[in-house]
Chains A and B, each alone.
Chain A
Amino acid sequence: MSTATGTGQQDMRDMFRSMLLIRRFEEKASEEYMAGRIGGFLHLAIGEEAAVVGTVSAMRADDPLTSTYREHGQALARGADPRAVMAELLGRSTGLCGGRGGSMHLMDKARSFYGGYGIVGGSVPLGLGLAYAARYRKSDQVSVTMFGDGATNQGVVAECFNMAGLWDLPIVFLILNNQYGMGTSLEHAAAEEDLYTRCNAYGIPSWKVDGMDVMAVRGAVAEALRIAREERNPACVELLAYRYRGHSMSDPDTVRDADEKERWRLRDPLVTFERVLLGEAVMTADDIAAMKAEVEAVVEDAAAFAEESPEVPVAELADDVYANPFNDDARGGALMP
């Protein structure tokens, strides 16, 4: 690991802080869920911080990003307010999406984060459309769409590979391969476990990198973005990673082998990156301790803010179903929000 790809020391510190924030935020979200303050599904990205932060750190701020339902990290890495993210998880009116989306459906459009989506593979065509819009408008933005190993088996993802290759759309497909689709391992689901090779059939340059190494991810995504931005070709990177928790909070994680989990624990992306920062004298132990304390305070503040935030008024139940709402009192407005 090195400071290749023009990554300066400040970039490395920013990346580490972003990883710390995601880790600590996810741990706090887990506590909030166990306390009964978060409902629905809660999918934690603990273990996947390098994949998320390495990707986002390589992107330009105006490059649109789409993601799956495991996307708190993407929102935070893109700069979303941790208070608004936590408030959304708690379903409060101050939430990022006004309490309508919850954990699985965060969006921060002002930061070009175009959302987390709950249907496996279903967000990939949206990412393709954002790439289409960039090309249509002759912008040099590149759309980045992140999806899991499970999504690569959805037909619509293959459809998107084809259209991206056919039309040379400026998109980077990022397969975050955490090796399990819920409880089903990759080897039980995929005929070819090197998922990036799917793109060979469509003439899309693709390769695999270590998704636990934030610098490797950043370098690979930077290269993929360069291909998309400068050569106006799609690219695909497979990030081999591991999540340290079950699929969601309701998964006791009894399927995965204990030895396997321990092996990947030893490759904790925060621990290994901390070692690099110390080894390359980017940060001192004191710097790191101070950063952890600062992040801890941000997360505690976010949780306190969310807990104290008001519920969403029930009177707002039917707001925002339409961008151009229509009025009809024929049925007390029930037909027409």
Chain B
Amino acid sequence: MSTDPAKPVAYRDALNQALREELTRDPDVFLLGEDIAGFDGAFKVTRGLLAEFGPERVVDTPITEAGFTGMAIGAAMAGLRPVVEIMTVNFVILAMDQIVNNAAKIHYMFGGQASVPIVIRMPGGAGHQLSSQHSQTLDAWFAHVPGLKVVCPSTPEDAKGLLKTAIRDDDPVIFIENEGLYGKKGPVGGPDDLIPFGQAAVRRAGTHCTVIAHSRMVWVALQAAEELASQGIEVEVIDPRTFRPLDLDTLASSVRRTGHAVVVDEGWPEYGISAGLATLLYEACFDWLDAPIGRVTCADVPMPYAKNLEQAALPQPADVVAAVLANIGQGVA
């Protein structure tokens, strides 16, 4: 697989490069998860790694999420750097006790004696008619928990650079990919190009309204921005990239400049990422806001199967366009 930065690389292959490079660099790094070795992973992120690094370092597990996630946490306490693949975010629910009660607590609860340098990566998101139990966005569950770091890459470059940073970090990192992005192509960095946590990316500059979106929603927001530009409205699209830590400075300074903010989130509206970001922005920018912060989220329902219902439930570019227009007072609210 080429690491030529000039050649566009798919998001899944960017992740694969990060894993290969870090496995090569550090013998303490190993991978485990369901069907990641012989089967190359459900989304082919680990393709070829078994042949290259062997079954000791690319480990197929039984279907036993709580058990192998907890096992990886224990191995991390001993100083190894496990990278766990949970096939999709829907199955991480089985491992939440291990993540929240163990991984997030161990460094603090034991007075800093042990750290947990683990990465737990998994795709979230919806859009493939997989219905309620396979179409969830649970970023907020993890972002709620002190002790975890939470990373949501939207581009191949971020997928690679942030995963490398995650693997080298000494804390538990929840690394949430998106099923709808694995085929997305773009440039990627080289073996030494790490992307630090806590730095938001401005995906498009603009002056009329700040649109905050992460993961696949960045692309939804950018589509909306194109449409709005054709109407003479320039929105600034900002991708937080990581929620713990969060680069609130970049978000807030943009909102202070535009006076308008719309948060786009594939997750549910209540008490989630969009609600949390809106609260932080109200606290940081209240006097600069010309309108209440707008939100575009998944509908507040379990995801339905029927294609038309599923698409109605998910944030679409048109929803973002409408929210921005409403926010800046040029549209029908």
A residues in contact (CB < 8 Å) with B: 64, 66, 95-101, 105, 107-110, 114-115, 117-119, 122-134, 136, 143, 155-156, 159-160, 162-163, 166, 319-324, 326, 328, 330-331, 335-337
Contacts and interface: CB of A to CB of B under 8 A. Distances in A.
A83 to B, nearest CB: 15
Given A107-B114, A163-B68, A335-B245, A119 B107 contact: no
Contacts of B69: 125
Nearest to A312: B111
A96 B115 CA distance: 16
B98 A122 contact: yes
B111 A101 contact: yes
Nearest to B80: A133
Nearest to B56: A136
A129 B71 contact: yes
A100 B111 CA distance: 6
A323 B75 contact: no
Interface stretch (B2-10, B182-190, B247-255, B313-321): B247-255
A5 B224 CA distance: 75
B198 A101 contact: no
Contact of B198 (A128, A162, A319, A328): A328
Contacts of B98: 122, 125, 156
A331 B283 CA distance: 9
B270 interface: no
Interface residues of B, number: 53
A203 to B, nearest CB: 14
A94 B72 CA distance: 31
A107 B110 contact: yes
B302 interface: no
13 contacts: A96-B111, A100-B108, A101-B109, A105-B109, A107-B113, A119-B97, A126-B71, A156-B70, A159-B64, A163-B64, A323-B115, A328-B247, A330-B249
Given A126-B74, A335-B246, A326 B197 contact: yes
B206 to A, nearest CB: 22
Given A129-B74, A166-B62, 18 more contacts: A97-B109, A98-B112, A107-B110, A107-B111, A109-B110, A115-B114, A122-B70, A122-B97, A123-B102, A126-B102, A128-B70, A129-B70, A163-B71, A320-B107, A321-B107, A328-B246, A331-B284, A337-B146
A324 B75 CA distance: 19
Interface in B47-86: 56, 61-62, 64, 66-80
B67 A156 contact: yes
B110 A101 contact: yes
B79 A328 contact: no
B249 A155 contact: no
Interface string B192-203: 000001100000
A134 B74 CA distance: 11
Nearest to B116: A323
B101 interface: yes
Contacts of A115: 106, 110, 114
Contacts of A320: 107-108, 111-112
